[in-house]
């Protein structure tokens, strides 16, 4: 196996590890690992960012610079503003799912405001590559201080990163959505348990059926404009603390 092939294989294995989900990972944490590795691996790359389109507006989710320079921060902030502006090269890439490449920012006048901001930040070339991230429009942005920095070989590396980052993006999003669904289900089950316990309290106190107890709790919730779970929780807690009569009276559930 040739040296380049070996490097690509090693990089692919490393990317698989970078994209592996670990406990408490979120989208930003996972994508931060990618942009940092892109800057370290792609020749002449000074800055990398991953941006997603949310409600037709680009939002930078992860960004990394090779050099930390406080003096350059204002110009980098200005570039970020232009990067996410409507009608710029990144916005086009996100909107149409097509790559955009600027070989020389000083000679390319298709996006003059963006070009001026990029040059002011010290860059001469850049590339924008859509990520295969399922239903979410996302893209890599790479910048270099040299013109025509992203040749065919480095572009292949960028494609490799884009493939893995897109899969990771999709997996993390799916994981987060699944986690939220589980949290909602757990909350619903907890609410159901609490309501059932409150029904049991009323059934025992008044000798009514489960259906009647539920209707009583529901009516109290509506009359007091309080969530059914809150009414039920207060009833259960009152039973446990010995002040049930007071809480039943508060919600109009006391007899006599």
Query: What total number of domains does the chain contain?
Result: 2
**Residue 133 belongs to a domain:** yes
What is the domain-level CATH number for residue 189? Answer: 1.10.10.10
**Same-domain pairing of 63 and 184:** no
Residue 168 has pLDDT above 80, yes or no: no
**Same-domain pairing of 190 and 162:** no
Cα torsion for 190, 21, 64, 140, to the nearest 10°?
Answer: -100
pLDDT, residue 22, reads: 42
| pTM > 0.75 | no
Query: Region 132-136: what's the mean pLDDT?
Result: 68
Q: Model confidence over 77-89: pLDDT tens digits?
A: 999 999 999 889 9
Of 31, 60, 39, nearest in space to 167 by CA: 31
**Residue 256 belongs to a domain:** no
**Same-domain pairing of 133 and 200:** no
**Cβ burial, residue 19 (10 Å; 0-12/13-18/19+):** buried
**Same-domain pairing of 67 and 108:** yes
Q: Range of 245's domain?
A: 180-250
**Same-domain pairing of 15 and 138:** yes
* Domain boundary residue, one of 151, 177, 203: 177
Q: Model confidence over 52-75: pLDDT tens digits?
A: 887 778 888 889 999 888 878 899
User: Is there a contact between 130 and 99 (Cβ–Cβ < 8 Å)?
Assistant: yes
**Same-domain pairing of 142 and 48:** yes
What residue ranges in the chain does DSSP mark as E strands?
47-54, 57-65, 100-102, 125-131, 138-144
**Same-domain pairing of 121 and 16:** yes
Helix, strand, or coil (residue 178)? helix
**Same-domain pairing of 18 and 64:** yes
């Amino acid at each position: 196996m040739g040296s380049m092939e070996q490097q690509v294989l090693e990089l692919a294995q490393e990317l698989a590890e970078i994209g592996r989900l670990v406990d408490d990972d979120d989208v930003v944490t996972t994508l931060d690992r990618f942009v940092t590795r892109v800057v370290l691996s792609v020749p002449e790359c000074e800055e990398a960012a991953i941006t997603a389109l949310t409600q037709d507006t680009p939002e930078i989710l992860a960004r990394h610079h090779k050099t930390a320079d406080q003096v350059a921060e204002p110009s980098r902030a200005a570039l970020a503003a232009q990067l996410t502006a409507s009608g710029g090269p990144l916005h086009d890439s996100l909107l149409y799912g097509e790559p955009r490449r600027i070989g020389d920012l000083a000679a390319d006048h298709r996006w003059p405001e963006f070009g001026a901001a990029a040059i002011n930040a010290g860059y001469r070339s850049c590339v924008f590559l859509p990520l295969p991230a399922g239903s979410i429009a996302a893209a890599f942005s790479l910048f270099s201080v040299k013109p025509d920095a992203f040749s065919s070989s480095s572009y292949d590396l960028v494609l490799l990163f884009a493939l893995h980052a897109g899969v990771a993006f999709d997996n993390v999003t799916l994981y987060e959505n699944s986690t939220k669904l589980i949290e909602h289900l757990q909350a619903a089950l907890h609410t159901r348990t609490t309501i059932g316990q409150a029904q049991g309290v009323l059934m025992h106190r008044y000798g009514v059926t489960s259906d009647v107890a539920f209707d009583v709790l529901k009516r109290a919730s509506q009359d007091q404009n309080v969530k059914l779970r809150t009414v039920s929780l207060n009833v259960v807690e009152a039973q446990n603390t010995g002040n049930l009569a007071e809480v039943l009276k508060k919600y109009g559930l006391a007899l006599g």
